Structure 1
Amino acid sequence: MAKRTKPNPDDRSDNVEKLQEMIHNTIENMERAEETLALSDNEETKRQVEEKNARRRESIEAMRLEVKDEARDNGQLH
């Protein structure tokens, strides 16, 4: 019979901090992509960067909503 292990407890205490770091990193990636875009003459590259940054903006918005939910759940937001 296989040995059963207990699952790790669900520690969400640092989720807000982790999400904020992810948002920060995504914004930095967008800025780097914009810098690359400004130097590129390739229309396909420009299109790809613009599409990727649009997806990044959507992700940032979703992460910001999740930050609010986590902060509320942790009693950090009223």
Structure 2
Amino acid sequence: MTYNNKPKPDDRSDNAEKLQSMIHDTIENIEAAEESLAFTDSETQRQQIKEKNERRRESIESYRAEIKDEV
């Protein structure tokens, strides 16, 4: 049996745009999570939300560094 699978070409022409969109979405997620803090009484949930937002901020920094590399 012969396979004629060829890898897709590596097209990074719109990579910076995709990364910018990811940054925008991540910022929206941070804002939504911070708004949800007002509705939770659980200290555990509050801590989890804060930790997740910190990881999101780190991701944004990584995305920005990657955009810098792309341009």
TM bracket, shorter-chain basis: over 0.9
The runs of 4+ residues in structure 1 deviating greater than 6 Å are none
Matched length: 71
**1:50-69 equivalences in 2 (<5 Å):** 50-69=50-69
When the two chains are superposed, the root-mean-square deviation of aligned CA atoms in Å is 0.9
Q: Deviation of residue 38 (structure 1)?
A: 2.0
Q: Distance in 1 between matches of 2:2 and 2:50?
A: 50
Q: Distance in 2 between matches of 1:49 and 1:18?
A: 25
Q: Which moved more, 1:1-10 or 1:55-64?
A: 1-10
Q: Could you list the runs of 5+ residues in structure 2 that have no partner in the other structure? A: none
TM-score under structure 2 length normalisation: 0.93
Q: Distance in 2 between matches of 1:3 and 1:41?
A: 57
